[in-house]
């Protein structure tokens, strides 16, 4: 096969890794750097084409004057913001950048402008920008170098609060700026931790903030912007997790989500005067994951995560009575937001067989309206596969019986036995939820593979006990859950336990590599995307502003005992056990998992004589966001899987 691009030595491309095996060429095509990947056959490219041209739309904001909505969707290389003035109307693009823009917030009080953010090349150093709808001009509001996020408008449009690490690049502070004066940012809060602004009080004199410590521990506080005084919300109740929070419309309290004294996160009302916390959703045994309040404060809408699926609830605040809510099919909802007049509720919704689109619900008419209908590349969505939710037993017990792990199983047509791709989510506190995936549908319909997406211990959505089961020295217990899944696959007559591949990104990439270390003989191969190969080097090389947050989850590498444990469980240090083919994928600008995690894994597996494909994008970070890069990644992955499942092997077709 012909070689792709210009041949480069490893030393010429990346210093410090010149010891890569000389017989494997490193080639470059545009921003893509690769090793071992042959040309993609025309039949795979043509079969992928329609799947790669599916689209989605996400709700961003209501226009403040009732003139439609703002959405994020992609018509070119990356997602940008678009205006839609009427349901199912034309999408009018308003941002045009080489980097993705995925969210926007309109200014209140009649200012015809919206706030948005973007980074460069996936480096996650987000800058805030203001787009003026009347002039079409865009102004950057932040310094152009630091990371700035969690922006919130004041109710009069005179201020924007945001989080930034501009002071020293490592620590986080809360700032306020005047959008008409880019030189106005002033620090209003500086305290150790990961503090983010949430919302201004109705009179704009106070700022609600949250300090994220871990998924099971956070703090809420209210800052008086004039005096600098800080009121802590329940400071003496011990570790507790808070989710979303909003001021009541009279400013005398809060609505908030917390797991205090509960296994799941419930919606509550907090009264400033007496400090009393009143639970509003004690009748629902699932996490509340998002909510909004009408402008007059009379109605609350919230979404629950029920075994991975979303459900909308609408209640009257006066007496917590349930009101009619849209009856949605099984799917995933996000971005709940009431319209400026409060009569409609906007949100994004997607299902396993249809991509994300934007909807609104009219409370008075009890009517659901669809605003966008995203394309699926001309494919017949009736042929898409919906998953089955199963619970399989694992190695330990809970309440005296075998603990069960939830997993979503996608089965292709036919009797099988089908090869299997185990797709492991990241986080580690993430949760696989059955939304639309063009990649999964391609694997199912074109490669004939089953896909299983487990929510191993440590996943969110199943209570605070479950999410903590993999912490610290228990890290490899989650890997054992994959071993139990391999046992379960052996009991399924339509699944081929002899042809199983593990696939995952970020922490899921660690899980992939660890699964290969522990279950190499039971697996056919693996795809590792931006994965952690060594916890110690990961913690030492992740961006400094993230390090303390990650130490809470994974352990502190500065402690000798924990360091020894982290080294012991790191796949890099047991890489000799990996003898099956491996595909490693990485973004060069990744601020979370440094590209060196992939490079060092590549080198050691190569040195051990293993078969490895390697793909790196020089203009990406923690995952590929640009369509052309993602298309090539999907095509190369499809070829890798096809070769493994067919028994052909992945031998180096690019060698001289």
Cβ within 8 Å of residue 27, ≥6 positions away:
3, 4, 5, 6, 7, 8, 33, 34, 35, 654
pLDDT value at residue 110: 74
pLDDT value at residue 652: 53
Number of H helices, E strands in the chain: 11, 39
Contact, 549 vs 466, CB < 8 A? no
Q: Domain 6-52+379-646 carries which CATH code? A: 3.40.50.1820
pLDDT value at residue 651: 75
pLDDT value at residue 549: 87
Contact, 194 vs 185, CB < 8 A? no
pLDDT value at residue 42: 94
pLDDT value at residue 89: 96
The Cβ of residue 34 has, within 10 Å, a number of other Cβ atoms equal to 22
The CA-CA-CA angle for residues 151, 156, 158, to 5°, reads: 65
DSSP 378: T
DSSP string for 426-438? -TTT--------H
Q: How far is it, in rounded angstroms, from Cα 20 to Cα 451?
A: 33
Q: What is the CA radius of gyration of the chain?
A: 25
The CA-CA-CA angle for residues 233, 346, 218, to 5°, reads: 20
pLDDT value at residue 290: 93
C-alpha closest to that of 346 among 57, 59, 56: 59
C-alpha closest to that of 206 among 272, 271, 258, 154: 154
pLDDT value at residue 7: 24
pLDDT value at residue 15: 37
Q: 275: alpha, beta or left, given left = phi > 0 and alpha = psi -120 to 50?
A: left
pLDDT value at residue 102: 82
Contact, 338 vs 420, CB < 8 A? no
- Ordered by start, the domain boundaries in the chain are 6-52+379-646, 113-249
DSSP bridge pairs for 420: 450, 500
DSSP 75: S
Q: How far is it, in rounded angstroms, from Cα 94 to Cα 80?
A: 8
The CA-CA-CA angle for residues 257, 241, 172, to 5°, reads: 105
Q: Which strands sit side by side in the sheet containing 332-338, from one edge to the other?
A: 332-338, 344-351, 354-362, 367-370
Q: Following CA atoms 292, 297, 298, 303 in sequence, which dihedral angle do they give, to the nearest 10 degrees?
A: 10
Q: How far is it, in rounded angstroms, from Cα 451 to Cα 408?
A: 8
Contact, 583 vs 613, CB < 8 A? yes
Q: How far is it, in rounded angstroms, from Cα 359 to Cα 379?
A: 22
Q: Give Cα separations from 262 to 216, 284, 553 (angstroms).
A: 12, 11, 21
146-195 pLDDT, tens digit per residue, is 999 999 999 999 999 999 999 999 999 999 999 998 788 999 999 999 99
Domains 6-52+379-646 and 113-249 agree in fold: no
Q: Domain 113-249 belongs to what architecture?
A: 6 Propeller (2.120)
Cβ within 8 Å of residue 413, ≥6 positions away:
none
Cβ within 8 Å of residue 241, ≥6 positions away:
215, 216, 217, 218, 258, 259, 265, 464
H/E element, 504: strand 495-505
3-state secondary structure labels for all residues of 330-349: CCEEEEEEECCCCCEEEEEE
Indicate the burial class of 145 (C-beta count within 10 angstroms; 0-12, 13-18, 19 or more): exposed
The Cβ of residue 21 has, within 10 Å, a number of other Cβ atoms equal to 14
pLDDT value at residue 115: 96
H/E element, 221: strand 217-224
Tokens read off for 97: 């950048």
Tokens read off for 233: 């919300």
SS3 category, 561: helix
Q: Which residues of the chain have pLDDT under 50?
A: 1-22, 654-656
SS3 content of the chain, % helix, strand, coil (to 5): 20, 35, 45
pLDDT value at residue 653: 55
């Amino acid at each position: 096969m012909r070689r792709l691009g210009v041949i480069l030595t490893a030393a010429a491309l990346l210093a410090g890794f010149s010891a890569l095996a000389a017989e494997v060429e490193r080639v470059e095509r545009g921003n893509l750097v690769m090793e071992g990947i042959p040309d993609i056959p025309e039949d795979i490219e043509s079969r992928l084409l329609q799947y790669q041209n599916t689209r989605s739309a996400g709700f961003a904001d209501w226009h403040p004057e009732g003139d439609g909505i703002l959405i994020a969707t992609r018509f070119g290389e990356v997602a940008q913001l678009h205006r839609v003035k009427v349901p199912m109307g034309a999408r009018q693009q308003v941002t045009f950048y080489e980097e993705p823009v995925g969210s926007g917030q309109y200014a209140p009080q009649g200012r015809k402008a919206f706030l948005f953010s973007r980074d460069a090349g996936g480096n996650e150093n987000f800058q805030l920008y203001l787009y003026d709808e009347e002039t079409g001009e865009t102004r950057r509001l932040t310094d152009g170098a630091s990371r700035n996020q969690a922006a919130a408008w004041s109710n009069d449009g005179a201020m924007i609060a945001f989080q930034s690490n501009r002071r020293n690049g490592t620590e986080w502070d809360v700032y306020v700026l005047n959008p008409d004066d880019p030189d106005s940012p002033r620090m209003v809060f500086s305290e150790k931790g990961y503090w983010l602004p949430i919302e201004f009080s109705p009179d704009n004199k106070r700022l609600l903030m949250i300090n994220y410590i871990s998924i099971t521990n956070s703090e809420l506080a209210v800052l008086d912007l004039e005096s600098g005084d800080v009121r802590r919300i329940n400071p003496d109740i011990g570790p507790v997790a808070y989710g979303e929070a909003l001021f009541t419309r009279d400013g005398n309290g809060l609505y908030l989500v917390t797991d205090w004294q509960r296994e799941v996160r419930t919606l509550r009302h907090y009264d400033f005067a007496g400090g009393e916390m009143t639970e509003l959703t004690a009748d629902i045994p699932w996490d509340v994951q998002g909510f909004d309040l009408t402008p007059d404060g009379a109605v609350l809408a919230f979404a629950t995560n029920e075994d991975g699926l979303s459900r909308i609830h609408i209640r009257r605040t006066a007496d917590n009575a349930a009101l009619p809510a849209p009856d949605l099919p099984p799917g995933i909802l996000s971005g709940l937001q009431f319209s400026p007049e409060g009569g409609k509720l906007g949100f994004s919704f997607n299902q396993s067989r249809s991509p994300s689109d934007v909807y609104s619900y009219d409370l008075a008419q009890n009517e659901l309206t669809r605003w966008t209908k995203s394309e699926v590349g001309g494919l017949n969505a009736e042929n898409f596969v919906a998953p089955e939710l199963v619970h399989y037993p694992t190695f330990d017990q809970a309440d005296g019986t075998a603990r069960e792990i939830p997993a979503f199983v996608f089965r292709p047509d036919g009797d099988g036995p089908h090869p299997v791709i185990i797709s492991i989510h990241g986080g580690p506190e993430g949760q696989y939820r059955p939304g639309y995936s063009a990649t999964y549908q391609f694997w199912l319909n074109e490669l004939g593979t089953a896909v299983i997406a487990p929510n191993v211990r440590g996943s969110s959505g199943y209570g605070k006990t479950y999410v903590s089961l993999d912490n610290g020295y228990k890290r490899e217990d989650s890997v054992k859950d994959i071993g139990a899944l391999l046992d379960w696959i052996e009991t399924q007559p339509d699944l081929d336990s002899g042809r199983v591949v593990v696939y995952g990104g970020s922490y899921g990439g660690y899980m992939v590599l660890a699964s290969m270390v522990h279950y190499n003989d039971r697996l056919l191969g693996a795809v590792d995307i931006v994965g952690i190969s060594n916890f110690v080097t990961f913690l030492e090389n992740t961006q400094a502003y993230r390090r303390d947050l990650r130490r809470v989850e994974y352990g502190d590498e500065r402690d000798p005992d924990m360091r020894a444990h982290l080294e012991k469980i790191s796949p890099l240090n047991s890489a000799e056990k990996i003898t099956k083919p491996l595909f490693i994928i990485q973004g060069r600008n990744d601020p979370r998992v440094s590209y060196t995690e992939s490079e060092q894994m590549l080198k050691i597996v190569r040195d051990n004589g293993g078969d490895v494909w390697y793909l790196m994008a020089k203009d990406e970070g923690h995952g590929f966001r640009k369509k052309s890069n993602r298309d090539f990644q999907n095509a190369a992955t499809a070829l890798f899987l096809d070769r493994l499942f067919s028994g052909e092997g992945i031998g180096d077709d690019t060698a001289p």
